[in-house]
Amino acid sequence: MPCSPDDADAPADLARRFREARADDRLAVLEGFHALKHALRFGAEVQCVAAADPDALERMAAELAPDLTGRFRALAGVPVPAEELRALAPHVPRTQVLALARRAPFGAARLRANRAGGPVVLLEDPRDLGNVGAVVRVAAGAGAAGVVTTGMHDPWDPAALRGSAGLHYALPVGRDDGFALDPGERPLLALDPEGDVLDPARLPSDAVLAFGTERHGLGSALLARADARLRLPMRAGVSSLNLATAVSAVLFAWRLAHPADS
Protein backbone atom coordinates (compact mmCIF):
# COMPACT_ATOMS: atom_id res chain seq x y z
CA MET A 1 0.00 0.00 0.00
CA PRO A 2 1.13 3.61 -0.39
CA CYS A 3 2.81 5.12 2.66
CA SER A 4 0.35 7.83 3.53
CA PRO A 5 -2.96 9.30 2.43
CA ASP A 6 -2.90 12.19 -0.01
CA ASP A 7 -3.65 15.02 2.47
CA ALA A 8 -1.96 18.11 3.86
CA ASP A 9 -0.39 16.29 6.85
CA ALA A 10 1.00 13.46 4.74
CA PRO A 11 4.65 14.62 4.45
CA ALA A 12 5.04 15.06 8.23
CA ASP A 13 3.24 11.77 8.93
CA LEU A 14 5.46 9.98 6.47
CA ALA A 15 8.67 11.36 7.97
CA ARG A 16 7.50 10.37 11.48
CA ARG A 17 6.57 6.90 10.31
CA PHE A 18 10.01 6.24 8.83
CA ARG A 19 11.77 7.76 11.86
CA GLU A 20 9.84 5.49 14.22
CA ALA A 21 10.40 2.47 11.99
CA ARG A 22 14.19 2.88 12.28
CA ALA A 23 13.87 2.39 16.03
CA ASP A 24 11.38 -0.48 15.84
CA ASP A 25 12.88 -3.97 15.93
CA ARG A 26 9.80 -5.45 14.24
CA LEU A 27 10.22 -3.34 11.11
CA ALA A 28 12.70 -3.06 8.26
CA VAL A 29 13.46 0.04 6.20
CA LEU A 30 14.13 -0.87 2.58
CA GLU A 31 16.08 1.59 0.49
CA GLY A 32 16.12 1.26 -3.29
CA PHE A 33 14.59 -0.84 -6.04
CA HIS A 34 16.73 -3.95 -5.53
CA ALA A 35 16.07 -4.11 -1.78
CA LEU A 36 12.32 -3.85 -2.39
CA LYS A 37 12.52 -6.33 -5.29
CA HIS A 38 14.21 -9.01 -3.16
CA ALA A 39 11.92 -8.35 -0.20
CA LEU A 40 8.85 -8.86 -2.41
CA ARG A 41 10.32 -11.89 -4.16
CA PHE A 42 11.11 -13.63 -0.86
CA GLY A 43 7.74 -12.97 0.70
CA ALA A 44 8.14 -9.82 2.81
CA GLU A 45 5.02 -8.26 4.23
CA VAL A 46 5.52 -4.78 2.79
CA GLN A 47 3.60 -2.14 4.72
CA CYS A 48 4.15 0.92 2.57
CA VAL A 49 6.12 2.16 -0.43
CA ALA A 50 7.13 5.78 -1.11
CA ALA A 51 8.41 6.37 -4.64
CA ALA A 52 9.11 9.49 -6.66
CA ASP A 53 8.17 7.78 -9.92
CA PRO A 54 6.15 4.55 -9.61
CA ASP A 55 6.01 4.21 -13.42
CA ALA A 56 9.83 4.21 -13.60
CA LEU A 57 9.86 1.38 -11.03
CA GLU A 58 7.50 -0.61 -13.21
CA ARG A 59 9.77 -0.09 -16.21
CA MET A 60 12.70 -1.37 -14.13
CA ALA A 61 10.61 -4.34 -13.02
CA ALA A 62 9.73 -5.19 -16.61
CA GLU A 63 13.45 -5.36 -17.38
CA LEU A 64 14.94 -6.76 -14.16
CA ALA A 65 12.14 -8.51 -12.29
CA PRO A 66 9.33 -9.52 -14.65
CA ASP A 67 8.05 -11.89 -11.95
CA LEU A 68 7.01 -8.78 -9.99
CA THR A 69 5.36 -6.83 -12.80
CA GLY A 70 2.50 -4.69 -11.51
CA ARG A 71 3.51 -4.96 -7.83
CA PHE A 72 5.51 -1.73 -7.63
CA ARG A 73 2.89 0.60 -9.07
CA ALA A 74 0.17 -1.01 -7.00
CA LEU A 75 2.18 -0.63 -3.79
CA ALA A 76 3.42 2.90 -4.43
CA GLY A 77 0.19 4.62 -5.40
CA VAL A 78 0.71 8.35 -5.97
CA PRO A 79 4.26 9.71 -6.48
CA VAL A 80 6.02 11.16 -3.43
CA PRO A 81 8.03 14.27 -4.41
CA ALA A 82 11.83 13.90 -4.23
CA GLU A 83 12.14 16.56 -1.49
CA GLU A 84 9.74 14.60 0.71
CA LEU A 85 11.75 11.40 0.17
CA ARG A 86 14.83 13.23 1.46
CA ALA A 87 13.13 13.53 4.86
CA LEU A 88 12.78 9.73 5.05
CA ALA A 89 16.37 8.51 4.65
CA PRO A 90 19.90 9.87 5.10
CA HIS A 91 20.71 8.93 1.50
CA VAL A 92 17.88 8.59 -0.96
CA PRO A 93 18.84 5.84 -3.42
CA ARG A 94 19.18 6.64 -7.11
CA THR A 95 16.00 4.66 -7.82
CA GLN A 96 14.11 7.00 -5.45
CA VAL A 97 12.07 4.38 -3.64
CA LEU A 98 11.85 3.68 0.10
CA ALA A 99 9.64 1.15 1.83
CA LEU A 100 8.69 -0.25 5.21
CA ALA A 101 8.15 -3.95 5.79
CA ARG A 102 7.75 -6.36 8.68
CA ARG A 103 10.99 -8.16 9.49
CA ALA A 104 11.01 -11.85 8.70
CA PRO A 105 10.78 -14.11 11.76
CA PHE A 106 14.05 -15.45 13.16
CA GLY A 107 14.37 -18.47 15.42
CA ALA A 108 17.84 -19.46 16.62
CA ALA A 109 16.36 -22.61 18.17
CA ARG A 110 15.14 -23.77 14.79
CA LEU A 111 18.58 -23.23 13.21
CA ARG A 112 20.15 -25.29 16.00
CA ALA A 113 17.61 -28.09 15.77
CA ASN A 114 17.25 -28.37 11.98
CA ARG A 115 20.64 -29.28 10.53
CA ALA A 116 19.44 -29.38 6.92
CA GLY A 117 19.67 -26.50 4.48
CA GLY A 118 23.40 -25.80 4.50
CA PRO A 119 25.84 -24.24 6.97
CA VAL A 120 24.99 -21.41 9.35
CA VAL A 121 27.24 -18.34 9.21
CA LEU A 122 28.01 -16.92 12.64
CA LEU A 123 29.51 -13.42 12.83
CA GLU A 124 31.03 -12.67 16.20
CA ASP A 125 30.45 -9.02 17.10
CA PRO A 126 30.73 -7.56 13.57
CA ARG A 127 31.37 -3.81 13.64
CA ASP A 128 30.74 -2.77 10.04
CA LEU A 129 27.11 -2.95 8.94
CA GLY A 130 28.20 -2.92 5.31
CA ASN A 131 30.05 -6.17 6.02
CA VAL A 132 26.96 -7.63 7.68
CA GLY A 133 24.86 -6.80 4.62
CA ALA A 134 27.46 -8.22 2.23
CA VAL A 135 27.59 -11.42 4.30
CA VAL A 136 23.79 -11.82 4.21
CA ARG A 137 23.86 -11.33 0.44
CA VAL A 138 26.57 -13.91 -0.16
CA ALA A 139 25.00 -16.35 2.31
CA ALA A 140 21.73 -16.09 0.36
CA GLY A 141 23.57 -16.62 -2.92
CA ALA A 142 25.58 -19.59 -1.70
CA GLY A 143 22.62 -21.32 -0.07
CA ALA A 144 23.50 -21.04 3.61
CA ALA A 145 20.88 -21.97 6.20
CA GLY A 146 21.08 -18.63 8.01
CA VAL A 147 23.20 -15.79 9.37
CA VAL A 148 23.50 -15.26 13.12
CA THR A 149 25.32 -12.31 14.67
CA THR A 150 26.43 -11.54 18.21
CA GLY A 151 27.30 -8.19 19.76
CA MET A 152 25.91 -4.71 19.78
CA HIS A 153 24.74 -4.22 16.20
CA ASP A 154 21.29 -5.04 14.88
CA PRO A 155 21.77 -7.16 11.75
CA TRP A 156 18.51 -5.70 10.39
CA ASP A 157 19.80 -2.14 10.61
CA PRO A 158 18.88 -0.21 7.42
CA ALA A 159 22.60 0.03 6.56
CA ALA A 160 22.89 -3.78 6.64
CA LEU A 161 19.74 -4.10 4.54
CA ARG A 162 21.32 -1.75 2.00
CA GLY A 163 24.37 -4.00 1.85
CA SER A 164 22.29 -7.14 1.41
CA ALA A 165 20.01 -5.58 -1.24
CA GLY A 166 17.04 -6.82 0.79
CA LEU A 167 18.19 -10.47 0.85
CA HIS A 168 17.53 -10.64 4.59
CA TYR A 169 14.20 -12.09 3.45
CA ALA A 170 15.87 -14.99 1.62
CA LEU A 171 17.15 -16.79 4.74
CA PRO A 172 16.86 -16.44 8.53
CA VAL A 173 18.95 -13.52 9.87
CA GLY A 174 19.10 -12.51 13.51
CA ARG A 175 21.12 -11.81 16.62
CA ASP A 176 21.74 -14.44 19.30
CA ASP A 177 24.63 -13.91 21.70
CA GLY A 178 24.56 -17.51 22.90
CA PHE A 179 24.71 -19.25 19.52
CA ALA A 180 28.46 -19.98 19.50
CA LEU A 181 28.45 -21.55 22.91
CA ASP A 182 25.31 -23.53 22.11
CA PRO A 183 25.21 -24.46 18.40
CA GLY A 184 23.06 -27.55 19.10
CA GLU A 185 24.26 -30.66 17.26
CA ARG A 186 25.93 -28.63 14.54
CA PRO A 187 29.75 -28.76 14.49
CA LEU A 188 31.32 -25.39 15.26
CA LEU A 189 34.18 -24.44 12.92
CA ALA A 190 36.25 -21.33 13.65
CA LEU A 191 37.59 -19.49 10.62
CA ASP A 192 40.90 -18.12 11.76
CA PRO A 193 44.01 -17.04 9.79
CA GLU A 194 46.06 -19.10 12.30
CA GLY A 195 44.11 -22.34 11.78
CA ASP A 196 44.73 -25.46 9.70
CA VAL A 197 44.30 -25.16 5.95
CA LEU A 198 40.65 -25.65 5.03
CA ASP A 199 39.73 -28.59 2.78
CA PRO A 200 36.44 -27.68 1.04
CA ALA A 201 35.47 -31.34 0.54
CA ARG A 202 35.63 -31.91 4.31
CA LEU A 203 33.50 -28.90 5.31
CA PRO A 204 30.35 -30.39 6.86
CA SER A 205 27.16 -29.06 5.30
CA ASP A 206 25.57 -28.73 8.74
CA ALA A 207 28.45 -26.71 10.25
CA VAL A 208 28.28 -23.41 12.05
CA LEU A 209 31.02 -21.40 10.33
CA ALA A 210 32.21 -18.75 12.80
CA PHE A 211 33.96 -15.56 11.70
CA GLY A 212 35.56 -12.98 13.96
CA THR A 213 35.26 -9.27 14.41
CA GLU A 214 37.00 -7.06 11.86
CA ARG A 215 39.86 -5.82 14.02
CA HIS A 216 40.54 -8.59 16.53
CA GLY A 217 39.23 -11.82 15.01
CA LEU A 218 37.49 -14.53 17.05
CA GLY A 219 37.41 -14.36 20.86
CA SER A 220 39.06 -16.92 23.10
CA ALA A 221 35.77 -18.44 24.37
CA LEU A 222 34.61 -19.28 20.86
CA LEU A 223 38.03 -20.58 19.82
CA ALA A 224 38.10 -22.83 22.89
CA ARG A 225 34.61 -24.16 22.15
CA ALA A 226 35.26 -24.76 18.40
CA ASP A 227 35.60 -28.28 17.00
CA ALA A 228 38.29 -27.08 14.56
CA ARG A 229 40.14 -23.92 13.50
CA LEU A 230 40.43 -23.51 9.74
CA ARG A 231 42.13 -21.00 7.48
CA LEU A 232 42.03 -19.93 3.87
CA PRO A 233 45.67 -20.07 2.80
CA MET A 234 46.98 -16.65 1.74
CA ARG A 235 50.07 -15.33 0.07
CA ALA A 236 52.91 -14.58 2.51
CA GLY A 237 52.76 -11.07 3.95
CA VAL A 238 48.93 -10.76 3.83
CA SER A 239 47.61 -10.99 7.40
CA SER A 240 43.90 -11.51 6.76
CA LEU A 241 41.00 -11.05 4.37
CA ASN A 242 38.15 -8.63 4.84
CA LEU A 243 35.37 -10.29 6.86
CA ALA A 244 32.77 -10.43 4.06
CA THR A 245 35.26 -11.67 1.47
CA ALA A 246 36.43 -14.42 3.87
CA VAL A 247 32.80 -15.53 4.33
CA SER A 248 32.31 -15.47 0.57
CA ALA A 249 35.42 -17.57 -0.13
CA VAL A 250 34.49 -20.20 2.47
CA LEU A 251 30.82 -20.47 1.46
CA PHE A 252 31.57 -20.84 -2.22
CA ALA A 253 34.37 -23.33 -1.51
CA TRP A 254 31.70 -25.35 0.37
CA ARG A 255 29.08 -24.93 -2.35
CA LEU A 256 31.39 -26.01 -5.17
CA ALA A 257 32.56 -29.05 -3.21
CA HIS A 258 29.02 -30.11 -2.19
CA PRO A 259 26.79 -29.64 -5.22
CA ALA A 260 24.25 -32.15 -3.89
CA ASP A 261 23.78 -30.23 -0.60
CA SER A 262 23.58 -26.73 -2.03
Ligand X SMILES: C[S@@+](CC[C@H](N)C(=O)[O-])C[C@H]1O[C@@H](n2cnc3c(N)ncnc32)[C@H](O)[C@@H]1O
Question: Contact positions toward ligand X, by CB under 6 A?
Answer: 191-193, 211-212, 214, 216-218, 231-232, 234, 240-243, 246
Which residue, 32 or 212, has its beta carbon nearer to ligand X?
212
**Is residue 130 packed enough to be buried (19+ CB in 10 Å), middle (13-18) or exposed (0-12)?**
middle
Which residue, 228 or 232, has its beta carbon nearer to ligand X?
232
Q: Which of 133, 122, 109, 121 is nearest to 28 (CA)?
A: 133
* Contact of 173 with 147, CB cutoff 8 Å: yes
Which residue, 93 or 193, has its beta carbon nearer to ligand X?
193
CA separation for the pair 93, 54 (Å, rounded): 14
Which residue, 27 or 232, has its beta carbon nearer to ligand X?
232
- Min. distance of Cβ 210 from ligand X in angstroms? 7
Distance of CA 85 to the CA centre of its chain: 24
CA separation for the pair 70, 59 (Å, rounded): 10
CA separation for the pair 67, 142 (Å, rounded): 22
* Contact of 216 with 239, CB cutoff 8 Å: no
Point out the residue whose Cβ comes nearest to ligand X.
217
**What DSSP element (H or E) covers 27?**
strand 27-31
- Min. distance of Cβ 103 from ligand X in angstroms? 26
- Min. distance of Cβ 183 from ligand X in angstroms? 16
CA separation for the pair 28, 24 (Å, rounded): 8
**What DSSP element (H or E) covers 111?**
helix 108-113
- Min. distance of Cβ 144 from ligand X in angstroms? 15
Which residue, 60 or 218, has its beta carbon nearer to ligand X?
218
- Min. distance of Cβ 234 from ligand X in angstroms? 5
How many other C-beta atoms can be found within 10 angstroms of the C-beta atom of residue 229? 17
- Min. distance of Cβ 19 from ligand X in angstroms? 33
Which residue, 69 or 242, has its beta carbon nearer to ligand X?
242
